[in-house]
Amino acid sequence: MAKKMIRPLRSEADYDAALNEIERYFENEPKPDTPEADRFDLLALIIEDYERKRWPIEPPDTIDAIRYRMETGGFSQADLGRLLGSRQRASDILTRKRPLTMRMAWRLHREWEIPAEALIAPPRSRGRRSAA
């Protein structure tokens, strides 16, 4: 049986068919450098492209990203103050009274490994904010 040519996914039906086909490879992984391995790679690419276009994931809100990193890294507001230059500056940032400067964003990215996309994203308007 000849395999169908791989083409861009344009509908939910195309997406479902590609998922069904790629799932078969999970049970029987193709050997590298074979036509089947190439087909698997192409299927993965078109599925990823469709998902990225269909269900884009926005970076988190800047302050939410900082607070999350503080929580997961065990950092305090005092730690943030030391990183940014003062406790008052840290407080103003966390309460949204003062925006991050590029220097602050760079330091948070470098020192605390917060993704740059989360630190330099434009502020979201209050009405558009999602409950995610």
Whole-model pTM: value is 0.57
What pLDDT is stored for residue 100 in this prediction? 93
**Neighbour-count burial of 67, counting CB atoms closer than 10 A to its CB (0-12 exposed, 13-18 middle, 19+ buried):** middle
Give the pLDDT band (50/70/90) at residue 107.
very high
Look up tokens 């087909």; give the residue. 39
- Residue ranges of domains in the chain: 12-54, 62-123
CATH of the domain spanning 62-123: 1.10.260.40
Nearest 5°: the CA angle 60, 63, 68 is 70
Look up tokens 């030391």; give the residue. 82
User: Taking the mean position of all CA atoms in its chain, how far away is CA 86?
Assistant: 30
Cβ–Cβ under 8 Å, residues 126 and 61: no
Q: Is the predicted pLDDT of residue 34 greater than 80, yes or no?
A: yes
